[in-house]
Amino acid sequence: MSHINEAFKNGKALIAFLTTGVPSVEDTVRYVLDMEKAGATLIELGVPFSDSIADGPVIMEADVKALASHVHLPQVMEAVKEIRKHTSIPIVLLTYYNPVFRYPADKFFREAKNIGIDGVIIPDMPHEEQQEIRPLADDNGVDIIQMVAPTSEARIRANVKDATGFVYVVSSMGVTGMRGDIKTDLKDIIKVIKETTDTPVAIGFGIHTPEQAHNMAALADGVITGSGVVDIINKEGSKADEDLMAYIGGLKKGMEQ
């Protein structure tokens, strides 16, 4: 059984994303522990990348800062090693394929297993193209998280039929970012997913208020927040601990109401 299931075993999962290395790798490690204390049950670590096509301006700003500090995939792997000295919380990397390809992929998945990375999300690698790396992931017990956007029922079923870890449902078309209103018919999308797989479903893209977290938790097994976290860190740098914990705590409370 995937270690990611630990995030969902005691109720709804709260999944928190942050860009690794902003403002420093040491701060990232501390913020992961802060968010776990505040109620996060799974952490997504973003691998800084120069052409992050799925990300909005907040996360792109963080990527620029991290890359300027020379934080790339090897430094992210080192951050995971440090985090693992303090917690066993499930960790998923969100990375574009280029850094994995250059690592290269076989070495990446071996190291991922050894240091305690539980899954990867690769936004620019559609389900059909994952077959070249799936054996590497499976052999090392690393889940490839499937992202599902609003699309046809047939495509949704094809994307999730062999899903492991959790299914990442994109709440809105476009790039990441905080949204005031989420209008996608998520109920029907999740119904199709649930008919196809027993893998937990989490909703992301745009969730940043307790009310949104409450509404999304009513539909799915988990809620993902990213831009809200990154925005706090972008603005407050190394002094974001208090506001970050309050933000995560507020979302957690909203989910439980």
Residue 55 annotated among the catalytic residues of the structure: yes
Q: Pick the catalytic residue: 27, 55, 143, 241?
A: 55
φ/ψ of residue 167, rounded to 5: -100, 125
What's the token pair of residue 110? 């071996």
Q: Which residues, in sequence order, are CB contacts of 183 under 8 Å at separation 6+?
A: 172
Are the CB atoms for 136 and 122 separated by under 8 Å? no
- Given a contact cutoff of 8 angstroms between Cβ atoms, the answer to whether 95 and 120 are in contact is yes
> In the annotation, is 153 catalytic?
no
* 44, 63, 118, 221: the active-site residue: 44
- As given in the structure block, the two tokens for residue 66 are 């991290």
Q: How far is CA 189 from CA 7, 136, 158, 185, 233, in A?
A: 22, 29, 13, 7, 32
* Dist. CA 76–CA 159, nearest whole Å: 28
Positions marked active-site: 44, 55
